[in-house]
Chain A
Amino acid sequence: MSNPTTRNLVIGGAAGQGLGSAGHLLARHLVRLGHQVLVTQSYQSRIRGGHNSIALRVSQRTLSAPQERIDLLLALDQETIALHAGDLAPEGRILAAGSPSLPDELRSRTLRVPISDLGGKPLTNFILLGVAASCLGLEASALASAAQAALQKRPELAQKAAGAVRAAQAWANEQAGVRDGMGSVRLPAGTEQGQTRRVLMSGNQAIALGAISAGIRFCAFYPMTPATSVNQTLVSLSERCGLVVEQAEDEIAAINMAIGASFAGAPALVATSGGGFALMTEGVSLAAMTETPLVVVVAQRPGPATGLPTRTEQADLEFVLHAGHGEFPRAVFAPGSVEACFHLTRRACLLAEQSQGPVFVLTDQFLADAHRAIEPFATEALPELRPGSGVPEGAHPAGSFTAAPPSAPPAETAPGDYRRHAFSGTGVSPRRLPGGGPELVVTDSDEHTEAGHLTEDLTVRRQMVAKRLRKERGLRERIVPPERYGDARPELLLVGWGSTRGAILEATDRLRAAGRPTGALLFAQVWPLEPESFADALSAAAAVIAIEGNATGQLARLIRRETGCEIVRRLQRFDGLPITRDYILRALGAEQARSGATKEKP
């Protein structure tokens, strides 16, 4: 066992067996002990409806992606073994509830746990957790206490769960198979943490916190997987953070409410998935026309139509890029990590206010739901929004968007002379809020005059189109350039965007470790694209491959449209599962290169 630092645990069972809560309990406990943890759904193509599974990848080093090979499989039911045993590492082990029938080759690697002796069927999840704790070499009783604390709102269950964990751990410590056979599973001690303890957070939670930290005050939503947990996190923090979050009658209402709130001075966000966003598109156009700041989070799932509601995909890039009738500028961020979900959502909020229009955060089910141990965000010094008084200086690397200092009064001070859509060099007009003073704030979804009243004057029309489009310059000055990783003049350059970042980074590491000069170019902002910020990387590579979670290579086509540079080689996945490091390596035929290197466990 060389370099046995990373462990992958999978817990599987029937829906309703409580494996999510058990998995998160263990994950949280491990984070407290100083481990790096990444929690994802276990993505497994044979999985059918009714079967659930959750994967915990544990390590001492920062983790950026899930892995496929399993070191310890907790099987709450027989089906779990049938579905996941194929992914078991050569020295992997199974903890099975009760006495499932097993193929010969698995018998010696499976520990059968007598559920009825240790607390009974309803506690299966906690019993297996206790046994797993023992196998991992965790201190007895600490996990039991953690279970007790986590379930404090249901004291009776908390008592039973803690008892089951304790009993199971005691039983397991007596088993020869656990004492001697779990070398490949045991975890080393957690690493020291600094003063700030790491926390376990999902992409969607980070988006909600990023929004709150930037000053978002209003959210309206219609539930849709996988965006729901953004809205849910905002709901759960609404009282403490002073937010209004309302469930709307449909997505059309949700986006229009958000626009109304933003117009009146409460920074607003909506979060949905493709089908809900389809209904919102008229609102995107409205935000652009009325120059109302708005943040739209689109968490992708496979389409068309209802598609695969609980799976992942990256097929709505072109949709988000073009959604909304008419021509207007926009920015689209595509975070590639939990941290980026926080920081880019913040950036989107500030940019929406600065550009007075729609800004997007494009994620997907994988990133939305994946929980990872992260350093807590430093929230003290972060700038926040003040609608109507500009975005604070220093909030953005490129400074304030508006030509006039944001705090200066508008040139026209006579009541009623305020012009909401006054022409300016940047395309952005001084903002006032209705009811905030004697100025009247008027805007219209029809083409309008500077004062906001509807017009059919075709000269004004031309000027207004040009005004709105001028904002693109400001957006371009504030682009987040693509991240470069690995070799600068590589034999192979892996190009990706959004949530595939982790898998691409890890694949790059593997290829380089195997002696192959490899680089990665990762887009965290997919619009606008500035060719100068990445074209040289494309031409410096001997070969380029675009890696995307869709069937048609949407980013590759966008790059071609914007740079004329065609990325011919494509690695595309569209079966609803995320792109993993192993998927990339397999697809690249890199298995051979790997076998030459140290036989290290993934």
Chain B
Amino acid sequence: MNASGDRRDPEVRLEDFGDFETAWCPGCGNFGILAAVKRALVELQIAPHQLLFVSGIGQAAKSPHYLRANLFNGLHGRALPVATGAKLANPELVVLVQSGDGCSYGEGGNHFLAAIRRNIDLTLLAHDNRVYGLTKGQASPTSPRQMQTKAQPGGPTSEAFDPLAVAVTMHASFVARGFAGRQAHLAGLIAAAVRHRGFALVDILQPCVSYNRIHTHRWYEERCYELDGSHDPTDRDAARARIESNQERIPLGILYRNERPVLRERFPALQSGPLVGRSVDRAALAEIVAGF
């Protein structure tokens, strides 16, 4: 995750993250996710200034504006590359990416695959409401075929994308699913994801009360169950079986986890610390120029 532990900061409390007015619809799943994020950060004792949130564009991507932390709210689909650059520049920052399913898996789909392959050490919180909220209800990559929308009156023309199946298949180093309606459980998952060294995906099932009539709070409550000790998250086949089994039973928890080298270890330049604040080695440069 980060190198935040070396600073002895005063105790981090919930109030440190503030309390802001939001632009979300009452009853939106984003409220539960925001609350869980703050709880996780208190559990982790990470202070606002040690955190960098990066988000894209959408209802979900507004979340980091509603707590106190460093924030780069970039373009639709591009949160992961910005976060990757920032983390490489300063690996001491704890980096969290927050965006919707459209932003993370649609417009940013290529970056999602690349982040898994790089194993960049950050946490992706994908608010998965299975619809485009901000643009008022078009199908998203995770919308099922039977979901009718204004733009897709006969349902989406493509099969739904399964981010967890893809992530596990690609040996993503941390794959979890949470539900906005189970705050305490979700907070635990987020904390575990941030603690994990490497790319950590938390796909968060999020009811959208305005545009998704199928996947309501109740629909999820009836189907979700929490993984217990009987699931071994280091067993990839078991993870796949859980993900691909009966859609009427949706597992929540850490589905899969592995330990592998993180991106920054591949750069010799980062062995001596962050890139920030260094000066040019003039003697080396003169030697390099003379060698051309």
Contacts and interface: CB of A to CB of B under 8 A. Distances in A.
Nearest to A371: B292
Given A442-B70, A452-B71, A453-B65, A264 B52 contact: yes
B71 A442 contact: yes
A439 interface: yes
A211 to B, nearest CB: 11
Report, as a range, how many residues of chain A touch the other chain: 35 or more
A242 interface: yes
Given A249-B110, A387-B276, A435-B70, A379 B89 contact: no
B103 to A, nearest CB: 12
Interface stretch (B124-132, B238-246, B265-273): B265-273
Interface string B53-90: 01001000010010011111111001011111111111
Contact of B275 (A199, A212, A220, A242): A242
Given A258-B85, A259-B85, A377-B289, A290 B52 contact: no
Contact of B57 (A238, A377, A445): A445
A379 B82 contact: no
B90 A435 contact: yes
B289 A379 contact: yes
Given A249-B114, A435-B49, A438-B49, A259 B285 contact: no
B285 A212 contact: yes
Interface string A97-115: 0000000000000000000
B282 interface: yes
A379 B71 contact: no
A215 B279 contact: yes
Contacts of B286: 376, 379-380
B111 interface: yes
A46 interface: no
B34 to A, nearest CB: 15
Contacts of B87: 260, 264
A256 B81 contact: yes
Contacts of B144: none
Contacts of B52: 264, 434-435
Given A260-B81, A453-B65, A239 B86 contact: no
A262 B280 CA distance: 16
B86 A261 contact: yes
A266 B78 contact: no
Contacts of B90: 264-266, 433-435
Interface of B: 48-50, 52, 54, 57, 62, 65, 68-75, 78, 80-90, 92-93, 110-111, 113-114, 267-270, 272, 274-282, 284-286, 288-292
Given A261-B89, A264-B52, A446-B73, 4 more contacts: A213-B280, A256-B78, A263-B82, A265-B277
6 contacts: A217-B89, A240-B288, A242-B275, A258-B85, A266-B89, A438-B49
Minimum-distance CB pairs A-B, first 8: A260-B85, A266-B89, A260-B82, A257-B85, A434-B70, A256-B81, A265-B276, A261-B85
